[in-house]
Amino acid sequence: MRKLLVTGASGFLGWNICREAKNDWDLSGIVFSHPVKISGAKIVQSDLRNFNELKKIFQEISPDAVIHTAAMTDLNYCQENRSETHNINVDASITIAALCSDYNIPYVFTSSDMVFNGLNPPYKEEDPVCPINVYGEQKVRAEEAILENYPYAAICRLPLMFGDPGPVAVSFIQPMMEVMKQGGELKLFVDEFRTPISGKIAALGLLLALEKVKGIIHLGGTERISRYDFGRLLAGAVGFSKAKLLRYQQKEMIMKAPRPPDVSFDSARAFRLGFKPLSIKQELKMLFNNVASSPQ
């Protein structure tokens, strides 16, 4: 069985990848601060910023492929901590690409819709990048350096993601659900648009890219939707029909990191390869049916 190495294995995306890949791959996962147990995966605790540690892991595991999901993704934190987050979001990503090049193995790097300024959607892979926050800048820098050093890498740009976060992570819907449960108010943008997908669908897309993609690809959903309208779908799916959802515009909220207004993807290239996201409503229904039926 081929060996797959997943970085950030305890994170939202890494955990979903491990769950989807465990039957087809001999899995190893790198974690940093959360050494969790993941069914079907060998877990290694390591700091990706330490080249010698990474080199040793590659030597010991000798992976046949790598999916790199580990990153600091909090936009506001990245905005205020440029140097610290650059080390993991850019430097470590380039180092892993170099190691994959040395081993001549597939490398999937997870990028973001934040590489665009949100003024000319929907975005195709060949559209010029123009990030407006530090996190987006870091993803662009990593993309460019990875492809320069290892042209056979797959750069998978991902949209907003939701779903089952695993034992230690969260997706953006968990805090929303907690506020709904407590009867609090949720301020949601009516003028910020994305093409969201679930963590499960993202994982399947990344595994597809591992086999079929070189260069850049967009793994977005089929629906362009605002934060507010997503909140309405979520409230309906979890049975909080009377949730207090407040309509807000981006200009009404001061944030440390600027947010682009519309970074919807055109993912036709991925669809042609067999990437098949469901509707948001279908995904939410499946998610909460699964949660309800899972043993506690």
- What CATH number belongs to 3-165+196-222+264-278? 3.40.50.720
The bridge status of strand 193-194 relative to strand 225-226 is antiparallel
Distance between CA 238 and CA 235 in Å, rounded? 5
193-205: burial string, b at 16+ Cβ within 10 Å, e else:
bbbbbbbbbbbbb
Domain spans of the chain, in order of start: 3-165+196-222+264-278
Q: Which residues contact 234 (CB under 8 A, 6 or more apart)?
A: 173, 176, 177, 180, 284
Beta bridge partners of 4: 27, 65
pLDDT by 10s per residue, the chain, length 296: 999 999 999 999 999 999 999 999 999 999 998 778 888 899 999 999 999 999 999 999 999 999 999 999 999 999 999 999 999 999 999 999 999 999 999 999 999 999 999 999 999 999 999 999 999 999 999 999 999 999 999 999 999 999 999 988 989 999 999 999 999 999 999 999 999 999 999 999 999 999 999 999 999 999 999 999 999 999 999 999 889 999 999 999 999 999 999 999 999 999 999 999 999 999 999 998 864 444 33
Q: What is the pLDDT, as a whole number, of residue 80? A: 98
SS3 sequence of 120-171:
CCCECCCCCCCCCCHHHHHHHHHHHHHHHHCCCCEEEEECCEECCCCCCCCC
Distance between CA 57 and CA 80 in Å, rounded? 31
Q: Which residues contact 192 (CB under 8 A, 6 or more apart)?
A: 226, 227, 250, 259, 260, 261, 262
Query: Measured between alpha carbons, how far apart are the two ends of the chain, in Å?
Result: 32
Q: What is the pLDDT, as a whole number, of residue 217? A: 98
Global confidence as pTM: 0.95
Q: What is the pLDDT, as a whole number, of residue 290? A: 62
Q: What is the pLDDT, as a whole number, of residue 295? A: 36
